[in-house]
Amino acid sequence: MTNPSVLPLPESTYQLLLDAARTWPGAVATQWIPDPSDHTRCLSWTYAELAGTVTRIANALTALGVRRHDAVTLSGVNTSMLYAATLAAQAVGIAAPVNPALGGERIAELLRRTQSRILVAAGPELDRQLWQRLLAVAREVGMTAVLVLRPDGVTSEAPPLPTDPDMVVAYLDDVMADQPVDRLVGAQPPAARDLAAFVHTGGTTGSPKVAAQTHANQLVCGQAIAQSLGLTADESILGGLPLFHVNALLVTGIAPMFGGQRVVWPSPSGYRDPALYARFWQIVEHYQIVAMSAVPTVYSALTRVPIDADIGSLRIPIVGASPLPASVREAFAAHTGRRLLEGYGLTEATCASTFTPPGEERIGSVGRPLAHQQVKVVRMDDDGSWVDCAPDEVGLLMISGPVVFAGYVIDPKLDGPRVSRDDVVRDGWLNTGDLGRRDADGFVYLTGRAKDLIIRGGHNIDPRVIEEALLAHPAVVAAAAVARPDQHAGEVPVAYVVPADPDRFDEVELTAWAATAIDEPAARPKHIYPITAIPTTEVGKYHKPTLVADAAVRAIADALASGGLAARGIEVVHEHNRLVVTVAGVDPDHLADAVAGFALTVRAAS
């Protein structure tokens, strides 16, 4: 066994891969399951094969004009070649993964922001609608090449691709076929300080931010993750998150190279594939999964999947990305006999910043800081200065160390991108925007997002207080609390719940029960709305902006109705982190009177 904590830190993620290929050339690095219903059939790559494939793709990118400061955009479902192409892009340029669920306008904006000219895209066999959207965007922004991905293990003839006089459109397999496998041609390996990835941190509402990470950022974080997991070279990890997300890239893409682990990718759609859950426990047994990383919604779903296999290998189920409800923690432990191990991180700190090793679980804690990172809690004084908080005092979480990102891409230039972290990093400390506390032993506890706080008449309300209370009711399967605009209190709390039995939902009864379950009167929800599912992102995190927008529409509609008015339509958009409501079919003067007092922009449709 090689201890990942004592491996020397290489100069780049590409060098890390080469080192792993020399250390474990014949060991399986990755396994890709095209169809979870046929879970024993997979495509396997050894570390030597992975390194060779990455090198060939990197050489193909260089031949297409990619240089060190050039971004390569990658978008698609999880496949072996998408993973290899991401590593290859970091070897000769900058990888810029994009959420395939984004609309064409958002993807085009990201391409312009990063000045990417090469696109690696899911082809028509993987997702025809996505392929058509990506091809249209590539033409719109003037890409020079679109490299097309095929499904893993496919043996049929590839469908013909459209010809385009202004750009190369070709299968990645064909473009890389004749490239050298043993060396980079025409490119020097990257240095630790070079940019490795552009990772967008949003984009479903408003303009997405693009966070720039260096090779050093990823290597330090990856090594710390490997050290904290402590796996041996013959153990396996499940990779079910999408490759555009830093957790997938770092926890299941880069960290395993430090210890020679095997990563099993259970479906192109990962945890979002409904077919996966029917075979989930069988996959754990067949591939002897030791560790996995997922969000609370995944573990909640797994509590309802009967265990039909031997899951004795699974000992490190990691949960993060969003707060873990107590009900999910308890249900998973009762169902599987395993305790969820909480962690915490964010893209601006590369990926993971805290972790809970087995045996160190503390209810409500996300663990202690990983190696090479410092975490502290501060409060903001009136003059804008930061004052360190005492143990167990709630404040803003701050992170420092070599994992703090290079900055947001703010102004691409001809000789490379320009990045800045002025707004979020001060004296080396990253303002996470998260609220939390540290106890005397150094364990970190999250208490919410600063931007998610509900401020009712100047009273700060943590939405988790509402959500935890509602989840304790047997009639509630899922819950999310948000702020609804209010003309008198500024904001009031409302909740959206998924009823266990939609036909028997009773808002009056549940509201009355919440009044007894929530001690804080101001935190008791003004309304409780039933919905079929809480909106989620591609990785399964609750997407509260959708609910915030709905709550704003309801507030404006109720205000209009109180004034005897009815709108033909109400639309909500996010502009510069503020809600803007457009109302159609109401006279502007009458509208202004009806919505007076709301702390949001309301305007009549022109």
Indicate if the pLDDT at residue 121 is higher than 50: yes
The pLDDT value given to residue 204: 38
The larger pLDDT score, comparing residue 367 to residue 606, is at 367
pLDDT-based confidence at residue 578 (cuts at 50, 70, 90): low
pLDDT-based confidence at residue 563 (cuts at 50, 70, 90): confident
Mean of all residue pLDDT scores within the chain: 90
Indicate if the pLDDT at residue 111 is higher than 60: yes
Please tell me the least confidently modeled range out of 284-288, 327-331, 552-556: 327-331
The larger pLDDT score, comparing residue 50 to residue 424, is at 50
Give the domain-ending residue among 396, 414, 438: 438
Report DSSP letters for 467-502, one per residue: HHHHHTSTTEEEEEEEEEEETTTEEEEEEEEEESSG
pLDDT-based confidence at residue 103 (cuts at 50, 70, 90): confident
- Upper half-sphere CA count for residue 114 (Cβ side, 13 Å): 33
The pLDDT value given to residue 416: 66
Give the per-residue SS3 of 314-368: CCEEEECCCCCCHHHHHHHHHHHCCCCEEEECCHHHCCCCEECCCCCCCCCEEEE
Indicate if the pLDDT at residue 18 is higher than 50: yes
The pLDDT value given to residue 6: 44
What is d(CA 303, CA 133) in angstroms, rounded to the nearest whole number?
A: 36
Helix locations, 472-587, DSSP H: 507-517, 544-562
The per-residue pLDDT for range 197-220, each reduced to its tens digit, is 999 875 434 466 899 999 999 999
- In the chain, the percentage of residues whose pLDDT exceeds 70 is 94
Same domain, 587 and 460: yes
Closest to 445 measured CA to CA, from 464, 458, 461, 426? 464
Within-domain flag for 237: yes
Same domain, 420 and 498: no
Within-domain flag for 475: yes
Same domain, 18 and 70: yes
Answer for the pair 60, 45: CB distance below 8 angstroms, yes or no: no
Same domain, 394 and 504: no
Average pLDDT over every residue of 467-479: 88
Same domain, 165 and 236: yes
The per-residue pLDDT for range 515-540, each reduced to its tens digit, is 888 877 888 999 999 999 888 776 66
Same domain, 37 and 78: yes
Average pLDDT over every residue of 148-157: 95
What is d(CA 314, CA 311) in angstroms, rounded to the nearest whole number?
A: 6
Q: Following CA atoms 412, 92, 247, 100 in sequence, which dihedral angle do they give, to the nearest 10 degrees?
A: 70
The pLDDT value given to residue 3: 44
Check which CATH number belongs to the domain holding 527 and give it.
3.30.300.30
Same domain, 107 and 238: yes
The pLDDT value given to residue 203: 42
The per-type count for the chain, helices as H runs and strands as E runs, is 16, 32
The larger pLDDT score, comparing residue 601 to residue 124, is at 124
∠40-46-49 over CA atoms, to 5°?
125
Answer for the pair 348, 209: CB distance below 8 angstroms, yes or no: no
Same domain, 342 and 472: no
What helix, strand, coil percent values describe the chain, rounded to 5? Answer: 30, 25, 40
∠339-469-459 over CA atoms, to 5°?
120
Indicate if the pLDDT at residue 450 is higher than 80: no
Average pLDDT over every residue of 580-591: 88
Closest to 108 measured CA to CA, from 80, 79, 139, 130? 139
Q: Give residues with Cβ within 8 angstroms of 274, minimum separation 6.
A: none
Q: Which domain holds residue 486?
A: 452-604
What is d(CA 133, CA 445) in angstroms, rounded to the nearest whole number?
A: 42
∠59-61-65 over CA atoms, to 5°?
115
Within-domain flag for 494: yes
Indicate if the pLDDT at residue 295 is higher than 60: yes
Give the domain-ending residue among 438, 471, 502: 438
Within-domain flag for 445: no
pLDDT-based confidence at residue 67 (cuts at 50, 70, 90): very high
What is d(CA 581, CA 485) in angstroms, rounded to the nearest whole number?
A: 11
The pLDDT value given to residue 489: 73
Terminal C-alpha separation, the chain: 69
- Residue 417 has phi, psi (to 5 degrees) of -75, 150
Same domain, 417 and 501: no
Check which CATH number belongs to the domain holding 317 and give it.
3.40.50.12780
Same domain, 434 and 456: no
Average pLDDT over every residue of 110-122: 94
The pLDDT value given to residue 460: 67
**Longest Cα–Cα distance in the chain:** 75
Look up residue 326 and give its two tokens.
């107590």
pLDDT-based confidence at residue 462 (cuts at 50, 70, 90): confident
Closest to 492 measured CA to CA, from 458, 469, 519? 458
Most confident of 69-83, 206-220, 379-393, 452-466: 69-83
The pLDDT value given to residue 4: 43
Indicate if the pLDDT at residue 22 is higher than 80: yes
What is d(CA 399, CA 372) in angstroms, rounded to the nearest whole number?
A: 10
The per-residue pLDDT for range 223-276, each reduced to its tens digit, is 999 999 999 998 999 999 999 989 999 999 999 999 999 999 999 999 989 999
Most confident of 120-129, 376-385, 523-532: 120-129
pLDDT-based confidence at residue 469 (cuts at 50, 70, 90): confident
Number of domains in the chain: 2
Residue type, 10: P
Same domain, 376 and 461: no
The pLDDT value given to residue 353: 95
Conformational region of residue 41, where left means phi above 0, alpha means psi within -120 to 50, and beta covers everything else:
beta
Average pLDDT over every residue of 378-401: 89
The per-residue pLDDT for range 319-378, each reduced to its tens digit, is 987 677 777 888 899 999 999 999 999 999 999 999 999 999 998 899 999 999 999 999
The pLDDT value given to residue 454: 82
Burial string for 341-367 (b: 16+ CB within 10 Å, else e) reads: bbbbbbbbbbbbbbbbeeeebeebbbb
Within-domain flag for 443: no
The pLDDT value given to residue 597: 72
What is d(CA 85, CA 78) in angstroms, rounded to the nearest whole number?
A: 11
What is d(CA 331, CA 478) in angstroms, rounded to the nearest whole number?
A: 13
Within-domain flag for 181: yes
pLDDT-based confidence at residue 380 (cuts at 50, 70, 90): confident
Look up residue 449 and give its two tokens.
């997002």
Length of the chain (residues): 606
Indicate if the pLDDT at residue 64 is higher than 70: yes
> What is the β-pairing status of strands 341-344 and 354-355?
antiparallel
Q: What are the Cα distances from residue 102, in Å, to 119, 203, 204, 547? A: 15, 7, 7, 18
pLDDT-based confidence at residue 289 (cuts at 50, 70, 90): very high
Within-domain flag for 144: yes
Same domain, 474 and 432: no
What is d(CA 317, CA 132) in angstroms, rounded to the nearest whole number?
A: 37
Answer for the pair 160, 171: CB distance below 8 angstroms, yes or no: no
Q: Give residues with Cβ within 8 angstroms of 258, minimum separation 6.
A: 4, 7, 16, 20, 222, 223, 226, 227
Give me the residue label for tokens 């409800």. Answer: 325
Answer for the pair 245, 215: CB distance below 8 angstroms, yes or no: no
